[in-house]
Amino acid sequence: QVQLVESGGGLVQPGGSLTLSCAASGSYIMGWYRQATGKQRELVATIDRDGTTKYADFVKGRFTSSRDNGRNTVYLQMNNLKPEDTAVYYCNTGGLRGYWGQGTQVTVSS
């Protein structure tokens, strides 16, 4: 059974940084999504098993995803955070009908 457990969210000031972690039960192609209040869930980044990454335009140059395959853990390093980055962030494998972490709240506010 696929299990995904996230950690690392919190409150940060604009311009600050946070790192999210997602511990998985195996080695999977992973995606990071986010959902702001009243908005649809949107794809933020993907990372393949070999570490190849892709990013949404609105986070390019600010967010970086990486993985530690020995620990079955993926990370999302978020720098230069903006208030519009405020959302619940989810890790995922298998696409929209796949498996989801429980979500972690990221709030960017002064």
Q: Are 32 and 92 in contact (CB under 8 A)?
A: yes
CB atoms within 10 A of CB 31: 23
The C-alpha angle with vertex 41 and arms to 18 and 105, in degrees rounded to 5, equals 35
Coil, helix or strand at residue 61? coil
3-state helix, strand, coil in the chain (%, to 5): 5, 50, 45
Tens digit of each residue's pLDDT, the chain (110 residues)? 899 999 999 999 999 999 999 999 998 999 999 999 999 999 999 999 999 999 999 999 999 999 999 999 999 999 999 999 999 999 999 988 999 999 999 999 99
- Which one-letter amino acid corresponds to residue 10? G
